[in-house]
Chain A
Amino acid sequence: MTQHSVIEREVATPGHAIGSRVPRLDAAAKISGAAEFVGDMSVAGMVHGKVLRSNVGHAKIRNIDVSTAETMPGVVAVLSAADLVDIDPYFGHVLRDRPIVAIDEVRFAGEPIAAVAAETEAQAEAALLAIVVEYTDLPVVANLGAALAPDAALVHEGPTREGFAHGLGKLPERDGNVCYRYGFERGDIDGAAGLADIVIDREYEFPAVYQYSMETHTVIARYTGDEIDLWSTCQHPFLVRAEIAALFGLAVDRVRVVVPYLGGGFGSKSYTKMEPIAVALARKARRAVRIVNRVDESMVTTRRHNMKCRMQTFATQEGELLGRRVEFWLDTGAYADNGPRVTATAADAAPGPYRWPSLHVLGHCVYTNTGPAGSYRAFGATHLQWIGESQIDEIARAAEIDPLEFRRRNLLRPGEEVRPGGRPLDADLVGDVEKAAAAIGWGRERISNRGLGVSVGLLAAGAHPVSSASVRMDADGGVTVLVGSTEMGQGARTVMAQIAAEVLSIDPTDVTVPGTDTQFTPYDRSTGASRSTTVAGKAVELAAREVLDALFETALLLFAVGDRRELRADDGRIWLQDRSVVYPELIAKRFGFSGGELRGYGEVKPEVGSGSYAEGPVFWEVCVAGAEVELDRDTGVVRILQTSTIADVGRAINPQLIERQDEGGAMQGLGNALFEEMLYTDDGMLLNDTLLDYRIPTIEDLPEKTTCIIVENGDGPGPFGAKGCGEGAVAALPAAIVNALADAGVPMTELPLTPERVWRQIQETENQE
């Protein structure tokens, strides 16, 4: 029996454009196949680019011979490191460590070495085969153990170079293969260890995972000497613009980045990815070039960090929490990408939302000879929540307290400190976890081979709060919102239309939200970290208010009244008591002409918004879920019978889109927990680099019952009290599943929960008994 998602509304939402299930404005175009993605676009004179990638994990490049390839049919240009001597060809927003193509050395299997532009894709592919690369093998450190060994070969030898946009303060010098460290301490952790009756002390492993946005990384680049045009599958067009401008020595306004619809992102298209190689190839070819990654290429372009972790939690026999010590090592692959930020966010998530008299958290970001790891939905929180929450359950069991009751007693309350100096807790976690538990039948009679689990966590969300937007009302009253949030499936364009429509009291379908074109769209830092509704949405609200102000200004003249408070906006009109005038009439009156437009501009920066944006993070995203599992003890197969997820969103702009975010996030969490894992050989070769071997959830994995509960407490810093969502379920569900499996008698310290791993743990547990 399928149970449909349940909506729980705690606060009635005023107005009509927000809080309602407005159908996606882009749905019809996407269903019909008319919606345009980068791979559907072409530019005059465009040729096709293909990338030659390393087939060894770590080697010196003795020689690259492209001379035969250059003479092949249809070939326009062949790019290699020799073509990059006139620029500083390294990129990376945190660490500037990644060459556009390998220079003298390859550091992972799959690293770009050269690229070919040809009239057809087939000609480009044929030419790749004619490029001869001679290698001298170097020692490969393909995993954390090898990279952290005392005499480990170094992935990078040179000094650390800082990237242009990391927001991590002063970066430490590289230490062996450790490229970044972050941690914090509070209280006397050794004292806590000495006082503890209950000590949970375990080591854990978390796998590398592929985001699999179904549209792979795709770029069209055009280089005209003093201008670069890009059409790219990027989540952060303005950061890509800045990085490309710096790489190729142009002013920012000489680089234009256009982003149409994205076929999924999930973090895999954050920051700069395939854009530099596409631009470099177009620069050489003097033609526009399109590069479309295959799936195996996208898998080595970015992935989620695998991790080792040791966690200790100390408590008294009565279940009083005394302290937690956490040390973890994230494998960021051969280039840092967003690894240092992931490390910091993971450290923030490590304590979990509890009151700790003492804490010691230290995270390491480690280079290895594997494909670079960067952002994947709910990064950091997903890594740590299942570990911390499984230890909370262990303590509750040892203290003979129901895990839900244990959380009731120990979870942080609104207003309490989460981390020293940061934003205090802005959510009702106890209420949230009680709802998640109730939805899966918490407290019912035990059923053999079944288990129930809940989990609670927080994700530092919002990234750096810099967004701007403009809203234009044309003479006929139609509204266009220009905002840099990338529409990648989450529904950003629909939500932005709703926000503008709410302010202007018009129908959301009268609002158009085009894709980003950095030449016209106001600056927005990025699309990620659940920030679009909260931060960019606030900019849209402010911009729409300026348009409304202009309408009121004209209406005051028209109605010959002096006080704006006598007027109100409703249903596309400005009203004075029972008299009203439609917006187009006001615009005509304002300009004394049949044309013209009203423009509003809104910006969000750290000190705006009653101080709420000044504190880091912008908001704490709530990660709460429940799960019921069924275990087959003979085979180790784990089946998810039901899930519950909490979307604690402050105010629901569009409840239907929120449910879809939670359902999608939960399914990614399920895949991460049960079977997704990138497998490498000891020499750094990725073994499962196709969808045949790398399995993601199908519709047959959908649990019988999934419940999404929307909580609206009006406690967000965004428009109308909203805060972001969409990542919490990814972090929370694996933790709830691990706890449910432990409740069924099988505690696990390694993901994913493959039948073999679970079966071995069952044998081990039974042998101990």
Chain B
Amino acid sequence: MFFLDFAGNRILMAVIASLHVIINHPFAVGAYPLVTLMEWWGHKTGQPDWDRLAYKITFVLFIITTTVGALTGVGIWLSAALIAPFGIGSLLRIFFWAWFTEWLIFVAEVVLIMVYFLTWKRWAEGFMKKVHIGVGVTLSVFSWLTMVIIVAILGFMMGSGTWPDQRTLFSALANPLYLPQLAFRTTFALITAGLLAWFTLFFFTDTGSEFRRRAVRFVSGWILVWSVPFAAASLWYWNVVPVIMQANVNVALLTMRFALWYETLAQLMAAAVIFIALTALIGILRPKVIPGLFLIIPFVLGIWLLGHFERVREFIRKPYVVADYMYSNGVRVSELPVLQRDGILPYSTYVHHRTVTSDNLVEAGRDVFIITCSRCHTTAGINGVVKKFTDLYGQEPLDSNTLRLFMKTMHNSRTFMPPFPGNDKELEALAAYIKKLQDDYEPIFNAQTDWTIKADTAGSMP
């Protein structure tokens, strides 16, 4: 099983996925409408400066979206296959048609961006210019449609609503988070595109020129215009999230902790939004005042906000990868009783030991750890399991009985974790392994680096 012992599997996925969102929102969904608008405005008022600026920004969009954007999109598939093969495999079986449609739209989007950019200079006059602007509009619509579909799938992962009974895509659309999230992301993408345009503008226009002033004012206007629906959408989203949280998480302690964090976050975010809006206001009133590099700050702030929203989303989703059907570690809800009775080792494919004996306690414990915890925890890196326990129980040598008790009921006390999917002997082995890690740390090697601790897989899956 694939395992990054230091950074943790989640990090790999998070890096690729965040990068993708960061590219996708401002550079694609939000930016295409903006550059098309600039192009149209330039055409309508007969000012070639606008056209030139739009072209230059599109060049940046084109380079970035067809490289980093496209590849991180593919990368999400590749990394999900490594990190949660059972989860992503199941999701794919449920949502194949949604993803397939999304793929077709995505192909259309890429073809359109190529047409849009590569024909810019050729389709410059009269009727062809109108066609060209039309391509820009179509492109904007298509890139937004991919978002419409993806948000449905994300919403589904958070709370499946009626899915467990109906198992259809439409039941996922009925998810209460769907519309607020879509509204939130759309307006947010439009704003971040403005932020992006703001600071690229300073590379593409002449310092002190009249046009730069107009461009700054224009983009600031764009940001302010979208700020209003954005504020409304955030409030909507913000109010829906806790409802979902409460539905998913029924433990006071957690909700309290969450609420606290949620409050602070809310204040920070409000501050960030106000800062962006203020900058936009200055941009409109006094476009000359704003120095170029300064504009990178709102852009970074925007990205940071986005990152936090992703985090809330991920947090709500736990412990499931497919709500009420499969846990993040790939165990299905309905196979839990079998695994808790017979143990998970006998039913696993890549393990060194299939039965726990007094000789192999620690080694079998390592197998158990890899199967049941490693999707979310490392041994000693980020979210390392030993650290989690010493935070909980203090630095003294951990007591294996306490460990066992904690793990046996961890899904009740910490609802973001799935129940332990194994029997008592395996629990004992896992406790022994964690104790061993505390005393005498050794990193885990995985199939990539080492399989020489050759599987003496006595026995096999029934």
**A and B physically associate:** no
